[in-house]
Amino acid sequence: MLAARFHVETCFVHMAKNIPTTLPGTPPPEAAQTLLALLHAQGEVARLSEREQLFSSLLGSVNAVLWAFDWETRQVLYVSPAYERIFGRPASLVLADYNEWRDSIYPDDLEFAERSLAQVLLKGSVEDREYRILNADGQVRWLSDKCYINQQRDGDRVIIVGIAEDITEKKQLEGELQRLATTDVLTQSSNRRHFFECAQQAFDSAREDGTPLAFLLLDIDDFKRINDSYGHQEGDQVLQRIADSGKAVLRRGDLFGRIGGEEFAAVFPGCNAQVAEQIAERLQRHIQRLSFSHGEHSYGVTVSQGVTALSDEDTTLDSLYARADAAMYRAKRQGKNQIVRG
């Protein structure tokens, strides 16, 4: 392209040398006017080419898909270069068939993605669309896909334009922050604040629906002696193994968390006291089978548990918690390694 442009410019220079000069105040000859027009046109073409190259460069660097969609014909009219990078598929496929985009949407998000797209016809714009896609490699990607009605309509033709930004890293960061805010770092179970938030929700639902609910408190027997005898690193291992036991024994939908130093709690939605006590017994046996070693010494651990169930008199979660706490301390006083119902 540069060689061709140089050739044209050389020709222009050659033409200019052969144009006769004119006296001041007289119009330039026809050849000169033609040359000036050609030079102006060449400059305009060069500027257009530069702007096109700049526009293409900008589109290629944006980590978002600019798109245009004909609502009536269900045809994708345009996608920017980022489509191939984010979706991992050739743009020609989606331009030929809109279902290429639709079929890439994560199945659980498809209904929301289609419903929110249709809302743009009523609202003029929709800016809170976030959904997942599966790219060509099977990776899950999150999109923030804002869309608008094109204001320059061609008759009754409805054109929707939008920008689909890849926000996968942002979502991963949000998920990690949420995990850190709700999880006990050592045991990877719910921390105290998150546990009681979830327990309160379960309590409110049980009260509203008139369904059973049970509450359990668990405390490791003689935990201070383990720390004093074998060190805090060994004590941390015991806490982790107890938490693993809780996750292994409790049912799907049960809540389990570490609410204090060596104290854990559980909530059993839909369970009366008898069923909750059976779960506690399974947990007790599972913990009794755990074996720990420190150097040449091997040892086991036991726990004391207090269990109680929701009654008509319980108007707050605190009353359940207090009753389970009192039952657990009775288990301690009665010899430890046992379950007491409160």
**Using CA atoms, how far apart are residues 129 and 122, in angstroms rounded to an integer?**
15
Q: Which two tokens stand for residue 63?
A: 């980590």
- From the candidates 84, 262, 277, 281, which is the catalytic residue? 262
Report phi then psi at 245, rounded to 5: -65, -45
Backbone angles phi, psi at 308, to 5 degrees: -150, 165
Cα–Cα distance for residue pair 324/217, rounded to 1 Å: 6
Distance, in Å, from the CA atom of 72 to the CA atom of 70, rounded to the nearest integer, reads 6
d(CA 240, CA 221): 15
- Own/partner pairs for 320-324, CB < 8 Å, 24+ apart? 320/203, 320/213, 320/215, 321/215, 321/217, 321/265, 323/215, 324/215, 324/216, 324/217, 324/265
Q: To which H or E segment does residue 168 belong?
A: helix 168-182
Scored b (16 or more CB within 10 A) or e, 190-216 reads bbeebbbebbeebbeebbeeeebbbbb
262 is catalytic: yes
Q: What is the dihedral of CA 177, 178, 184, 185, to 10 degrees?
A: -20
Q: Which two tokens stand for residue 8?
A: 């044209």
Instruction: Read off φ and ψ for residue 34, nearest 5 degrees.
Output: -60, -45
The residues annotated as belonging to the active site are 262
